[in-house]
Amino acid sequence: MAEKRERPFNISRYLSNSGPGRTIVRLNAKQIFSAQGDAADCLFYLQVGRAKLTIVSKGGKEATVTLLAAGDFFGEECMAGQSELRTTSATAVTVCVVLKIAAEELTRVLHEENAFSDLFVQFLALRSTRTQADLVDQLFNNSERRLARTLLLMADYGNASGPVSLIPPVTQETLADMIGTTRSRVSFFMNRFRKLGYISYKNRIRIHKSLLMMVLEDRLPEQNASRPKLLDVAVSHVQSPGHTRGPGRIPSPARTQTPGHTRVPRRAKL
């Protein structure tokens, strides 16, 4: 009898089905995959839905690190060793379906299946590039441009499968945490984007292609850190060239004083 031939390894089939060391889990919105400080004993692969990674400081302040989309791995701390702990909490933003891969199974498939290891290494490299881009964004771009970039990333612009116009439900507080500003500033920028036609929203935010073109052409108005124009005009008038008197002292139009003028400059009192 001929020996039964094993089927060649198929990445799509492996990541879409349960099996030895692999379990498919379904979570509703706001449910937690894993919490910060838990033992890192598995890797997650997001099949369907949107999730977010958050971190809590020692002072109790929570910040959103990144948003996850279908096709993302997370929880890779399990590769560092059995004693590793989760550095972030993973929470479902929408209804999610994930494949949970045990650490032992992950080690096996990385060693035995080159196709999977190539895919996983490529994903880690892309995530590292994304993290560096996020750092550059924080260092060199103002909060308005950071918000525009975050919205485009949430809409998957640049994805080979094409962008989506409606992004997952997200609060202004979450957006503020992600770009490092306040909720009031996010509200101000979102209203501006809507007036300019870059986005529209009622219950969910819809991203228009004009937002991408605006970012690529660098057409955001430069008003984030500027003072009101009227104030700038007043200051420039007081400090104009040739003005020798201190601010708040109005120069007289002529040296001679008109009859009846009682407010005589001190230099005239000799």
For 214-257, write each residue's pLDDT tens digit. 877 766 654 443 333 333 333 344 444 444 444 444 444 444 45
Q: What angle do CA 172, 136, 141 make, to 5 degrees?
A: 55
Residue that is written with structure tokens 């991203």 in the block? 207
Residue 25's φ and ψ, nearest 5 degrees, are -125, 140
202, 196 contact by CB (below 8 A): no
* pLDDT for the residue numbered 93: 87
Rounded to whole angstroms, how far apart are CA atoms 22 and 194? 44
pTM of the model: 0.65
* 130-146: burial string, b at 16+ Cβ within 10 Å, e else: eeeebeebeeebebbbb
Other Cβ atoms closer than 10 A to 99? 21
For 17-54, write each residue's pLDDT tens digit. 999 999 999 999 889 999 999 999 999 999 999 898 99
